[in-house]
Amino acid sequence: MEIFKKVSESAKTISEGAKTISKKSSDLVGAAKLKYEISKLEKEMENNFSALGNLVYLRHKGEEGIEEEIKRLLDATKALEDDIAEFEEQITKLLPKSLICSECQTELPAAANFCFNCGTKVIDHD
């Protein structure tokens, strides 16, 4: 009976490991999608900046009636910045930053208590 208990415990451990791997890969895919959305929003911001530059130049040359379009582009660009910040926050939740040793700047595993490179005690586990 002891062998069945060990086999059962091993199967449970393997199952939990598979769930963890599945969750991590899902998080990586989610982060990649968010990064793609960020790049699209950044491109749209670049277009807005270009259009704003043209409008400011036209206003400088004496063109009238473009103030509303300038305000619309400014508001749209601010909304894009807010969306990008929200996506970046979601990425941080999906992929938390790695621990970095305060002494030698080595990247450490999340569960580290000491730096494997220099032996410094890890203080912050968030």
pLDDT in tens, 46-56: 999 999 999 99
pLDDT tens by residue, 83-106 = 999 999 999 888 877 788 889 988
SS3 call for 20: helix
pTM comes to 0.65
Residue 9 sits at the vertex; the CA angle it makes with 4 and 15, to the nearest 5 degrees, is: 125
Q: Which residue in 59, 81, 84, 82 sits closest to 69, CA to CA?
A: 59
